[in-house]
Structure 1
Amino acid sequence: MSNAGLTIFDGALLRSIDLNLPELEHGVTGAQLLEISESKVSESLSGLSLPPHIKEAAISRVSAGDDVSFRRAEFNREQASEKLGVFVSAVADALTDTPVVVSILDGSTLKLILEDEDDFAMLAENLFTDLDEEDKGKLPKSQIRKALSLMGAEMGVPPLSDFPILDNIIKKHDADGDEELGQAQFAELLQPILQEIADVLHEKPITIVQNVEIFNGSKLRKILADEKTLKCLVEKMVKDNQGRADLIKNLMIENGKELGLPPLSSENESVALLYETIQSQLNKRDKETSDASTEEEFMDALKDILGRFAELLESTPVYSATTL
């Protein structure tokens, strides 16, 4: 799936890759086979170089953990095709568990923002408000760096580690000092910096590879089908003297990862909206989840709420990406 320069590789494309190696007239060494395997996978993934951890996992599986011996071994065409299949399956499985997001930053996203005065004004205002934690109405110039970090790859700004020229751009616009700026001055300084970043990326685009965790309700449904695991999570919190009225809320927040729930973050509007929707449903169930309710009634209420959350995630999956 792709959108505006962003592509998510989840392993599906690799399931139908051609595993035949008709170009092999003779045998091939394990080392050569690994090069062929990586090349075929990369070609199927639009030229993407495999992230190191995925490549290492695939090599470990195809070599049965003995990389050195495998590279020295000789394989005929049939054996090579079989080993290629193992390598491809390992990569596909890794991408299924943890898909990879590839973003091509070419300045187009930034240019769209800059071309619309209202969009840029809203962006600058939101960044200023988020950074002005003490509500002073002033920010030091140096906060421009943090503003760019907050925008991130999703808004077309690459991280400094992938875009070292960013440091030069910031210094060029004298945005490293302690001089304090009001909101309007902050926007005036941010605009030319974003324009220069966009121009540089237009000349030389950058590809950003990220791991992405997809929350689509599948893990939550597995937990709901495993009542023993669900009860263990509840009992752990009950031992911590959690009141039943608040237990469901606390369970989702403190054990969200185990349940397959997206982390509650104010920076992700879709996640905040999901939790608000569930919170409103929880408010309606307060009487049913009171301390006086039986264990069976409580578990029924819990499964009903989590089941609703699973439905919401299934219809509106949440993606959480981390730069590799």
Structure 2
Amino acid sequence: MADGGLAMLDGGLTVLDGTLLRASVSHLPNPNGAVTGTDLLAMAESAASSTLFGLSLPENLKSVALKRINADAVSFGLTEVDEEKATSIIRNYVIALADELKDDPLVVSILDGSALRLFLDDEDDFAMLAESLFTDLDTKDKGKLSKNEIQNALIHMGVDMGVPPFSESGALLNDILKKHGAVGEEELGQAQFAQLLQHILQDLADALAEKQVVVIQNIKVINGSKLRKVLADEELLDDVIKRMIKDQNVNEEKSGSIGKIRGFLEKYGLELGLPSAEANEAVVLLYDQVFSDTDKEQNGGKLGINEFGMVVKDILKKFAEQLEANPIFYDLES
């Protein structure tokens, strides 16, 4: 992670792990007098959204944050809260949002027009882009496209090229298309198509520079936060170790093995905050590193019941340390 907890990934992706929200707590807005719970939450969510580059907070994130402060959305919304208590609730709610993002970070694309400018500022790059889009959309090889195909061109470009989804941009894209008459069945040649697309992308880049759009990516981040909670909870950790002992049938007469511990974690690790063993090559390398180190320390030997728990705890600590230093990212759609 980058210093401050805001990591920039390849492809212009940004990780939101709660650090920015936690830093904003000292300058949150203060209610002026008593407010309803609904207004209070709206105030807190607006402040949090502003801190997170204008991100529209996901419903599941808000729901979990409410649970963290022991509030029910419906009943709390109808409650009138005095000014002093309201200030405390706003603070606790934003901290709850930050805590949830620490446990389950969001990966987002911040679309501010800069990616589009890269194409627009280079004539050759834009010409290649327009030609490629025209060819892809001209499925009947007519050499003509209707104006309404411009919308499909924007969809083809997508977030990777700096174009927000229609569902995330409100009326922005539709308004720009209407402004430039990019609707209807009137047909355009390739040069006309490229010219119209250029004007639309220029307007879109200007609009995004003025008000960026933040799009959540379907990428999971495993940073060891959940695993560290397991390690900090002696009762929960003891339950995990007992499950492993039962799984391997370890007792005074039968030893366990490091290989079987790996098999157990590959099968049930998600429950503990480990990445799916099938996620990607980085996860395989992580498992190899942790268990290679453990094998060396234990000389590849069998584990008696008295040392089994200590070895499991040590393995989980190694995973937590590695994930904190180098979080695992994987695409949930792949």
TM-score by length of 2: 0.55
Amino acid aligned to 1:277: Q
Amino acid at match of 2:30: L
- Following superposition, the deviation at residue 75 of structure 1 comes to 3.8
1:106-155 deviation per Cα after TM superposition (whole angstroms, max 9, x unaligned):
6949x89xx99xxxxxxxxxxxxxxxxxxxxxxxxxxxxxxxxxxx9789
Match of 1:235 in 2: 245
- Partner of 2:108: helix, strand, or coil? strand
- CA displacement at 1:215 relative to structure 2: 2.7
Query: Which structure 1 segments of 5+ residues have no match?
Result: 117-151, 166-195
CA distance in 1, matches of 2:69, 2:238: 36
2:52 corresponds in structure 1 to 45
Match of 1:78 in 2: 84
How many residue pairs align between the two structures? 248
Residues 256 and 289 (structure 1 numbering): CA distance in 2 closer, same or farther, change over 3 Å? farther
The CA deviation at 1:219 is: 1.4
CA contact (8 A) 2:224 2:319 kept: no
Aligned residue among 313, 317, 320 for 2:323:
313
CA distance in 1 between counterparts of 2:308 and 2:34 reads: 64
| Corresponding residue for residue 154 of structure 2 | none
Give the aligned residue type for 1:231: I
Q: Please state whether the residue corresponding to 1:255 is helix, strand or coil.
A: helix
Report the CA distance shift for 1:224/1:302 in structure 2 as closer, same or farther (over 3 A): farther
Equivalent residues of 1:27, 1:74 under 8 A apart: yes
Identity of aligned residues (%): 34
Q: Does 1:258 align with 2:264?
A: no
- For the pair 1:89 / 2:102, whether they are aligned, the reply is no
What SS class does the counterpart of residue 103 from structure 1 fall into?
Answer: strand
- 1:81 positional shift: 1.8
Q: Report if aligned partners of 2:290, 2:315 keep a CA contact under 8 Å in 1.
A: yes
Q: Supply the AA of the counterpart residue of 2:44.
A: S
1:289 to 301, 304, 316: 301
Deviations 1:154-208 (A, max 9, x none): 8989899879x9xxxxxxxxxxxxxxxxxxxxxxxxxxxxxx9xx9799567642
TM-score normalised to the size of structure 1? 0.57
Q: Distance in 1 between matches of 2:15 and 2:62?
A: 17
Q: 1:31 to 1:284 in 2, by over 3 A?
A: closer
Task: Return the letter of the residue paired with 1:67.
Answer: V
SS of 1:262 mapped into structure 2: coil
| Cα distance, 1:9 vs structure 2 | 2.0
The reply on whether 1:29 has 2:23 as its aligned counterpart is no
Structure 2 residue identity aligned to 1:261: L
Cα distance in 1 between the residues matched to 2:71 and 2:263: 43
What amino acid sits opposite 1:86 in the alignment?
N
How many angstroms apart in 2 are the aligned matches of 1:44 and 1:280?
Answer: 42
Cα distance in 1 for partners of 2:249, 2:52 equals 49
| Alpha-carbon contact 1:59-1:67 (below 8 Å) kept | no
- Corresponding residue to 1:214 among 222, 233, 238: 222
> SS of the counterpart of 2:274?
coil
Q: Does 1:276 align with 2:297?
A: no
Q: CA deviation at 1:209?
A: 1.0
CA distance 1:29–1:251, shift in 2 (3 Å): closer
Q: For residues 187-240 of structure 1, what are the alpha-carbon distances to aligned partners after superposition, in whole Å with 9 as ceiling and x for unaligned?
A: xxxxxxxxx9xx979956764214643333771584388462343132231249
Residue number in structure 2 paired with 1:2? 7
Structure 2 unaligned spans of 5+:
1-5, 126-157, 174-196
SS at 2:54's partner residue?
Answer: coil
- CA drift of 1:310 comes to 3.7
| 1:250-275 per-position Cα deviation (integer Å, ceiling 9, x unaligned) | 1221222234322223x633222222
Are the structure 2 counterparts of residues 243 and 13 from structure 1 closer, same or farther at C-alpha, using a change threshold of 3 Å?
closer
What is the alpha-carbon distance in structure 2 between the residues aligned to residue 273 and residue 155 of structure 1?
A: 31
Residues 208 and 301 of structure 1: CA distance in aligned 2, closer, same or farther (over 3 Å): same
Q: Report the aligned-residue RMSD.
A: 4.7
32-41 vs 99-108, which deviates more?
A: 99-108
After superposing the two structures, state which structure 1 stretch, 214-223 or 36-45, moved more: 214-223
